[in-house]
Structure 1
Amino acid sequence: MNIAYPYAVSLEEDGVYFVQFRDLEEAFTQGASLEEAAFNAAEVLTGILAYRLDHNQEIPAPSAAQPGERLATPGVEVQSALLLRQARAGRSLSDLANAMQTSWPAVQRLENPHHWPTLKQLDKAARALGKRLVLSLE
């Protein structure tokens, strides 16, 4: 699963690049350059998704990018929490803890967007969910 959300960039009259995410209406930012706008887009996306995870709010799947749109991905800790929550697909944390032969709090931390799980923990969770962990550097 890839968690890259599309956003549009527009150059405002004052020379600032305005960023707006289509799938997350509360996610917007700006930058003095396209590079700064892209950096800020990833930061605001990370913050919004972490907030939604913290408050158990719905997180829409990213839609396909339209022509002219750019893509942003959230920080690693948010990506891992979101991917595990999606992969769990309604399976309880207790069931996953039993499958991983670990405690409920240990599994709960894996879905905490402020926690940095180890690769060993992520791989073990993926295998317990019938998935495999795939890493990518971009």
Structure 2
Amino acid sequence: MLYAYHCDLTPDGDGGLVATFPDVPEAITGGADRAEALAMAGDALVTALAGYVHEKREIPAPGAAAEGRELVAVPTVAAAKLALYSAMRAQGITKVELARRLGVSEAAVRKLANPDHRSHVSQVEKALRAVGRSIRVEVTAA
């Protein structure tokens, strides 16, 4: 799954813009201009999706593209952690089981699976392979 979500920017009445995500309604923020609103939108999106993990909810899939919407991508490591969480959830793999597969402690897996904990992408990539997934990075024009 491509972890990039469509964002609506609408005027807020004070000359700024409000950023919302139809697929992740918890992610709401704004900014004084387009650039600031989009920067804040990226942070709000990651925070909202981390909330889904903490609440043990399914990560929503991004909807179809629509004209007039900005596309906001989740940063690479955060997207990899979301993919790991989703794969574990779908397959019923516990943190204890993933730790066994990786040959590490459950505490190490808890950190690795925590969206708020900084992890190296190679560690998350190894965990993804242990649950039958892989990561692919796509570079596009900004």
Normalising by structure 1, report the TM-score: 0.84
Aligned residues: 138
Match for residue 81 of structure 2? 81
Task: Please give the root-mean-square deviation of Cα atoms over the aligned residues, in Å.
Answer: 2.1
Q: In structure 1, how many angstroms separate the alpha carbons of the residues matched to 2:95 and 2:30?
A: 38
Paired amino acid for 2:56:
N
Aligned residue for 2:8?
8
Which residue of the partner structure matches residue 26 of structure 1? 26
The letter of the residue matching 1:55 is: E
- Does the 8 A contact of 2:9 with 2:20 survive in 1? yes
The one-letter code of the counterpart of 1:57 is: R
Inter-CA distance 69–115: structure 2 relative to 1 (3 Å threshold): same
Q: Percentage identity across aligned positions? A: 34
Q: Distance in 2 between matches of 1:137 and 1:115?
A: 25
Q: Which amino acid aligns with 1:6?
A: H
For 1:46, what is the secondary structure of its paired residue? helix
Runs of 4+ that moved beyond 6 A: none
Give the whole-Å Cα distance in 2 for the aligned partners of 1:103 and 1:73.
Answer: 31
Q: 2:118 aligns with which of 109, 112, 116?
A: 116
Task: Rate the CA distance shift 1:76–1:99 in 2: closer, same or farther, 3 A.
Answer: same
**Quick one: structure 1 residues 130 and 24, their matched pair in 2 at CA, closer, same or farther if it must change by over 3 Å?**
closer
**Comparing 25-34 and 5-14, the one that deviates more:** 5-14
Question: Corresponding residue for 2:51?
Answer: 51
Cα 1:80–1:133, aligned 2, differ >3 Å: closer, same or farther?
closer
**Partners of 1:49 and 1:137 in 2: CA distance:** 22
